[in-house]
Every structure is written in C-alpha cells, then in structure tokens.
Structure 1
C-alpha cells in the first residue's frame, strides 16, 4: 500500500512552499458573495497537464478529477468539522465479517456522459484497469488488499480480479485479504471511478474520458488548456458533494506562479472569475499586504501537511534511540518557520504529533516539551548520556532540490550545530532524491527533510505509509527506515478495526509509541494560501485537506 511517487512529489513540492494569511480565521464565507448558477470558472495552473484518467491519478477527492469522475464514496469536508465519508455513486458500504468483505449498493438511475447506465460492472472494470501496468501511477492503497490483487495485471487480456464481485447491476462486493476498517475511505480514491467496461485500453483515455461527474472534458491541449463543459446526464439530486455551479470550468495550464499572482491581484477581465491552483508564496503574500482588495481574496488553510526531519534509524549513531531523542530538543522550529515563510504565523503551527489536524481520532500531546527555539543544552546532555560528549560530526543531510528546501535545511543545520551536531547538506534533483530515499533497499544519508499529507482523512494514511516496516525501500515512504515489530502489529490491528472511534483511539496510541522512538522530528503543520478573483465564491479550505474544495466553487453574477 505505497503512496504513489507522484502524490509524494506533489506533497513535497507543496509543503515545502507553505504560506498563510489568516483568511480562514474569519467566519467561513466572509467576504464571499452568494454563488449563482452559470458562468465560466477558470483555474490557473503551473502544471503542463491535468490528468483525467482515474487509474493514473493521485488527485484528492475534492479537487480536479472529481469534477469529471465520481467514486463509490466521497468526502464531506467543511471548515471547523472533521471530514467524514459519505455516499457518492453508492452507499458507504457494509461489512458483516469484521471488515474483510465489503458490499456497496449503487444508486438507481446513474448515467455516464454518453447516456449509458453506470453499473457495478463499470466500477469493477475501473478498479481492474488500475492494476494494468500500462496505466500505472495512481494511488494504490487497494492493490495489496483485494484478494488476488498481488499478482493481477489488469483486465485487458480477459482476466478478472477474483476479489471483486458484481452479483447484479447495482451491487459490488470486495473480498479483502485481511480485515480493513478504512475500506470506505479507500473506495473514495480515483481507482474507484467507473470506466465503461471495455474502454480505457487506449493510451489517450485521459484526454477522452467518459464522465460520471457534473462535467465532461470537451477540449484538452497539453500546456495550454483543459476545458470542461456540463455533463447533461449528471443528476444533482444523486450527488451531495458536487454543486456543479459553473457552466464551464477551464484549466489554463503552464502558467507562471508570479504572473498568476499578479493577474489575480489586478483582478480584471476573465481573471475575476479565476483562482490559482498553486500556493501563494511568502514573497507574494508580502506584496499583497498593501492591497486591501487582494488581501480579502486570499483563502488560507488552518493547518496542513506535516513537515518533518527524518532520521535514518538504520545508520549509526542514529540507530541509538537516545541520540535520536537529542534531535527533538536540538531543532529550532521557530527558525524553520521563518525559513519557510518569513515568520512563524505564516508558516504554520509547531508540530508535536504525527497525526495532522482535521483527522478523526487525533490527540494533542508533546512528548518532548521544549521552547519552539529548542533546548540545545538538553540535547547535549542526551548525546553525552548516549556516549557522544563531543557531539556528532559529518552527518549527511539530504535535501530535495525543490522550492526553498535548501534554505530550510540551512536553518535546521544552524540549530543542530548549537547542540554540537555537525551536518553537511547534500541536494539532489527529484528523481535521484526519490531513488535514494524511497526506492533503494539501503540509504547512505543520515537526515532528510520531507513532508506528508494523507491521501484520505484517516490516521491510517498518516502513520502506516511512513512507519510500517513494509514501506522501507521498494518505493515506500518510510524514509527513516524505522522498524518496530510492535508498531507493525498495532498498525495491523488498527487497520482491522471497523469502528472509527475505536480505530482513532488505537491510532493515537501508535502516534505516541512511534514518537517515543524518535524516528522523525515533527517540525510544523504547514499552511497553504490560495488567491481568487473577485467573482469566485464559496472557495473554502476545510480542516482537511489543506487544499480548496473545487466541487463547491461558484461565481457571482
């Protein structure tokens, strides 16, 4: 159950460029007029592409892909509320054997954009298609869980996935290899969007998808534009998470971030009906500070991805838990905030837990109480007790060459030096960084800077990918190479728990147990800010995730 490399790259790129402006400290919707039906909404994107193939997508359930494709379940997320799973194409599922078998019933009357009925066979085909090597790259939480999935290679040569059953046109049943309480969340990921049985073998399906959501892809030109128009067969009465307000949604691709900020600040012409899909940088926020109109149009997350310092637990001296504990006190989180966004408030709150805000079951605690600027003397004491009275020398500090990550690493380097921990920063481009940290069976680095936002609103998605021993190397994201058989056992038990409250209690206990071993140093819960034009309304960021909910956005008349 490895998170896709694409998703992690996006998380790293995003969380390493965090900013904030306090807009969401106002009552939600303040300064945003009521939306009306109609108009053309424009999304200004730095990316050269936008991917509408559900098998290849790592899109969150509230962003671009969900405008075109529905899934079995969806997310209800609002500011001030914990996210919850809700029906989409189907109900939220039932299990009668403790979470090993899950059955979903589709709503009646659902249709694709070509007018054909959406059936359970189409959902099954979409899931099976996600296993085909030719369309790999999407989220894969389901691939090792569905019975038969470990060796399955997709449906294009006639093979069926035995763990997915469709006894009738509206019923789909998943037989898993083990009990899994978060399965209703997993079926909200892109692979559980329906694809008409028999379609999707063509390599350009992403440019000609058959839609189930409120919009269909009418035009696509890489690096230029993706234009969505209304799906005439979408029925809003069956959809509780998509408002479907604009007549068209146009993604303008390949836009320079600084130019996007300038255009939205100027707020003229079509840009009044646009918002930027990329974070507003600290420098751009500073420029906005003197523009009262633009400041009112910045929307900011309350919290966000966990930025953290990973310690390679396989390498001496970091294989010593007391040495790792010293890092908890050596790090100056305030200087990291300043390096991130200019000041502490803009960057995001100091982090002390692994589970991020807005996730059910999260508990607040601090096992290593220290001032935000750190306690270097305490760190030195712990190092001396561990047998290093002269500190640590020549630690390899690996950093991805993205955004201002090297500058953040330098801030951490300086604070570690106060505690007698000497490091050498080494930067790598994205692919080389991923190869060394995530793919290689062993790693030569000592420290690395990273971030993580879960793919669905469960502590499972916070903890399992980063700390299960199964996620070491081979494309996994246990960057600290952390192995603890007790933690692995507890992760399995928490994943098998169907009751959300009971599962949340178990995940909170795992959070504390992992942090007692100090495989990482939590730094901050990064904030993200986005800028909108004056006619864009109902653009909000819930407590989770730290991105706007595209599905509710509309325009004023």
Structure 2
C-alpha cells in the first residue's frame, strides 16, 4: 500500500531490474586487503547482533507495515519469486510460471522440496491460504492494495496454482515476492487475527527461536530445513531501538555489529578501529516538487522550469554536500535502471542559458533591487519572482542543499525563502497542495511506473500533488502497465521520460548512496539496492572461525 514514511521519504512504487553501478557496488573498507589463506574462507558458527528501530508488532509478511518488521519478515518468509542482485524477478518457491496470450492468467509450478521450518512440505494450499488471508478484511493485510487487479486464484493440484487478473498487468509478477504463510497450522480452526499477528513458523534461511518483548529483542537461528543455502551463521539477534541515533550509540558501544549511517558520518566511522564501510545504491531520488496549479503563475511556463534547473549547480551539490557519494538524476527512472533513457537533457549548470530562458518567458531584470519581474496574467499585476521552498527540518542534508539552491537562484534574480518544518506539517502542506515548492523524495520499488505521480487522474485522488497534466503521459503510463513485452515497455518508458525531462514537473536532483558501518569480524556482506540483507545466508563471522579452530584442536 502506498504510504508516507516518517523518515521523510515518500514511499511508493517504481523501479525494476536495477543494475548495480560500479564494480562491487562502490563499497570500500578501512581494513587491509585480505590475505590468501584458509582462515579467509567462510565457516559455520557464530552470531551477529543487528539493530532495528520502531515497535515490532508482527513479522507476518501479509501484515507488516514498518521497515523493521519487513526486514525480519523477509529473512523468515519466502515468496513464489524473489529479486536477484540486479532486481530481475527469479524463481524462489516457484519452479516456473506461464502466462496466457491475453496476459490474464498466470500459472505457477512450485518447487519439489521446500519445507516449513517444522518439516512440513510447502504446497499450493499454503499459497491459496495466504491470498485468502490477504483478501480477508478481518486480517487488515498491508499488501491487499497490491492485488486489487487479482480476480481469482485456485490450486490445480498440490504443486500448481493459477491466478486470474481483471486486466493485463506487467507489474503483477513483481508483487509475488510477498512471503507465503503456512496453512497446516491453522487447518480446521477459526483463524483469529491475533494468531496471524504472532505467526512465527516460516520457510526462510532463519527461523524464530525467541521473541522477548521485555528485553525488546528477537532471536533467529539457522533453519536447517531451508531448501536453499543453509546459513553459515548460527544465530541473529535483532535488538529493537527507538531511533537511528540510539542504534549508532549502541554500535559505538559494541552492542550491535551493523548500523546504517548518513553520508556526513561516514568519515568518522571509517576511521574507527575494526570497522568496515559498505556503500550501496539507493532506491530513491530527491527532487523539488513545483506546484503547477493554474492559479499559481510562477511555474506555468516550461521555459521557467527549465531555467530553474539550469540555474542550480547540481555538480556542486554532488561534490560539496554529498561528497561525490551520489548520482545526479534527470528523470523519474534511476540512471542504473534497464529502463533509463540515457539520451535526455542533462541540464548542466548554465546561469546564462537560464537567464535567456527566463527572458524569453517574459521575466525582466530590475537593476533597482536585483530581482526578476513579470506581469501575472491572472491578476494583471506586476510580480517579483520569489517563492517559498518547504523542507523537512529533520533532514540536514536537504536543508544544506536548499540553501545552496537559494544562493544559486538569487544570482538569477529569483528570491527563495527556505522554510523548514516538521515532517508532519510538511505532509499537511502536500495533502492540501498548499505550497509553492517542496523538497521531497520518492522511494522506488521494483517496476518503473510513471502513472502514480504523473497521470492526470492522480491529481485529485492520488500522488500527483503538483497537478501535472499531459495527455501523452496519461496514455503512455497506462500502456506501460498493460504491455507484457519488455522491449515495448522500455520504448514507452523512454518516450515518457523524454516528455517529463522536457516539461520538468519536478526539478530532479540526485540519488545518494546508502552506507553501512560493519564490525570487521562480519564477512560476506554484499548489499544490493533492494536490501542490505541480500544473501544473509552467506554472511559469516570470525567468531565462527574461532569455534572451528577449537573444534579442530579438540
């Protein structure tokens, strides 16, 4: 379900098949290169302690609604399909699938072998049960919105399931990463919602061994019945914290082994003893949303919006504020996506070109006060080019960027008042469309989707809060969802990006890296853009190495 995220990133859907940029995801370490010897090889054993924030009310994959819940759930529960490192959809519990010619019927064949952690086989009954619970209103499933196009589903036998859609939907397969839950432990019972909330029996590489609400920790142990790679690590302890700052303090105190940090903290952590730093691609981009309502004159002219982007020194932002740990973006598809159009206007910093465009749009420079002026056709009155840029006060990086933008645009004769407010207040401005410009980000999902933010039908009921309208984008965005042909979808997305890149309903800024600080005894981490828990079954620790030495000596 689309929802706002309290960490000040708007959470929504978008991207697929993301390619990792740079070799080894640009990660680096503050330790020496590993020496070639037997001790560098993965070994079994040991435990790692991880921190998560917020209350953990459930890890049931069809009920989770917070990032921390989802992190644990994804380790304990597996779905029909999963994403590989490049975010391609690949089989997980499913062996294969077939789609009818009309794109309405999807038939899945389950693998022969996967079991629940209690040893019971996973069958099509589990899949049907999962979707029955998703659609049961009593369950209040957090993923039900994703399956509104699902007309029916049924088991053909123990290993085959067929899904029927109302309309062809190229995004349907991506949604089937949702974890499957067990039918056999509920069979013959009237299911209570509380039972679903406290569900612990899973099918992933780790299983729940203890959930301590007093100590606020959840302990997972390796699942020896997991159908794929059995983990090296014996145990994962998740400690629950109220916020990110308390996690950082716990990491410094040696209480947890991994913590996600901000870019401005990376140098501090990089120089700590026995700490490695990993950088990996992010799945969101930052932008300035411009209010295009017809009664707001400032941003109506495309040339003005283009001038604003030419007038912002994004290279300086990337270099001085992001410390070169990010990528400039020019469209609503990230630069490392298979669907990214590389032949777009890059809008390099060019104040002269910006002034030329502003003059073409009727703005005249006043020597008296150094500002641009124009006649507002809505009122017939002369107005100064000035606007308010709203930024959430919790995000220091955005505030720094906003101040640099203010300085850049002042040189063009444009006045910008940077207003920082708590996120809850910023959200109200967005919902009421009560803003000139607002600094935001979209967090992206797996499949490139330009409909939710740019289709005109989304102006009143959806997330097109800038009131952008273009019939060509309306048509293209719907066609992207309907076509099952990847090549055709890519061509449509290229066209859509070209239009949006030219008309600029947003001032596209950048995507910045995510950063992990990791204690040096933890090895095998290979974070991807989807999660830094990628391949957690391949993580190993020198604690396990010491255990192996003792066992060998004994």
TM-score, normalised via structure 1 length: 0.79
Further displaced range: 131-140 or 355-364: 131-140
Partner of 1:327: 308
Further displaced range: 511-520 or 51-60: 51-60
Partner of 2:124: 120
Task: Indicate yes or no: 2:217 matched with 1:225.
Answer: yes
Task: Indicate yes or no: 2:469 matched with 1:483.
Answer: yes
In 2, Cα distance between equivalents of 1:473 and 1:56: 28
SS of the residue corresponding to residue 472 of structure 1 reads helix
In 1, Cα distance between equivalents of 2:503 and 2:193: 48
- Residue of 418, 423, 427 corresponding to 1:434: 427
Deviations 1:145-197 (A, max 9, x none): 212xxxxxxxxxxxxxxx22223232222221211123221211x3x533436
The 1:10–1:72 alpha-carbon spacing in structure 2 relative to 1, beyond 3 Å, is farther
Alpha carbons 2:59, 2:69 under 8 Å: kept:
no
- Residue of 44, 56, 59 corresponding to 2:63: 56
Alpha carbons 2:205, 2:226 under 8 Å: kept:
yes
SS of the residue corresponding to residue 362 of structure 1 reads coil
Alpha carbons 2:241, 2:247 under 8 Å: kept:
no
Further displaced range: 324-333 or 248-257: 248-257
Deviations 1:88-142 (A, max 9, x none): 1113521112422211122224333344433323223323433455554735563
Deviations 1:442-500 (A, max 9, x none): 512121111223222x323xx333323344354x4334332222212112212222232
- Residue of 120, 145, 148 corresponding to 1:144: 148
Partner of 1:3: 2
Q: Offset of 1:259 from its aligned partner? A: 6.0
**RMSD value over aligned CA atoms?**
3.5
Deviations 1:238-281 (A, max 9, x none): xxxx6533222111111764564466567x6x75xx212x2x22
Partner of 1:155: none
The gaps in structure 2 that reach 5 residues or longer are 13-20, 35-39, 365-371, 374-383, 546-554
Please list, as runs of the form range in 1=range in 2, the aligned pairs for 1:154-553 lying within 5 A after superposition: 163-188=152-177, 190=178, 192-196=179-183, 201-203=192-194, 205-221=196-212, 224-236=216-228, 244-254=231-241, 257=244, 260-261=247-248, 264=251, 271=256, 274-276=257-259, 278=260, 280-291=261-272, 293-294=274-275, 297-302=276-281, 304-315=283-294, 316-317=296-297, 318-337=299-318, 340-341=321-322, 343=323, 345-346=324-325, 348-370=326-348, 374-389=349-364, 390-391=372-373, 393-404=385-396, 405-437=398-430, 440=431, 442-456=432-446, 458-460=447-449, 463-472=450-459, 474=461, 476-542=462-528, 544-545=529-530, 547-549=532-534, 551-553=536-538
The structure carrying a bigger strand percent of its residues is 2
Alpha carbons 2:6, 2:423 under 8 Å: kept:
no
Alpha carbons 1:47, 1:255 under 8 Å: kept:
yes
- Residue of 504, 514, 539 corresponding to 1:554: 539
In 2, Cα distance between equivalents of 1:104 and 1:421: 58
Alpha carbons 1:182, 1:498 under 8 Å: kept:
no
In 2, Cα distance between equivalents of 1:422 and 1:361: 36
Alpha carbons 2:54, 2:243 under 8 Å: kept:
no
Partner of 1:16: none
Deviations 1:61-98 (A, max 9, x none): 99532211111100111xxxx33111111135211124
Deviations 1:324-365 (A, max 9, x none): 222221222134336744x3x13x122223211442232323
Number of equivalenced pairs: 502
Alpha carbons 1:21, 1:298 under 8 Å: kept:
no
Alpha carbons 2:283, 2:444 under 8 Å: kept:
no
The 1:142–1:282 alpha-carbon spacing in structure 2 relative to 1, beyond 3 Å, is closer
Alpha carbons 2:269, 2:517 under 8 Å: kept:
no
Q: Offset of 1:300 from its aligned partner? A: 0.4
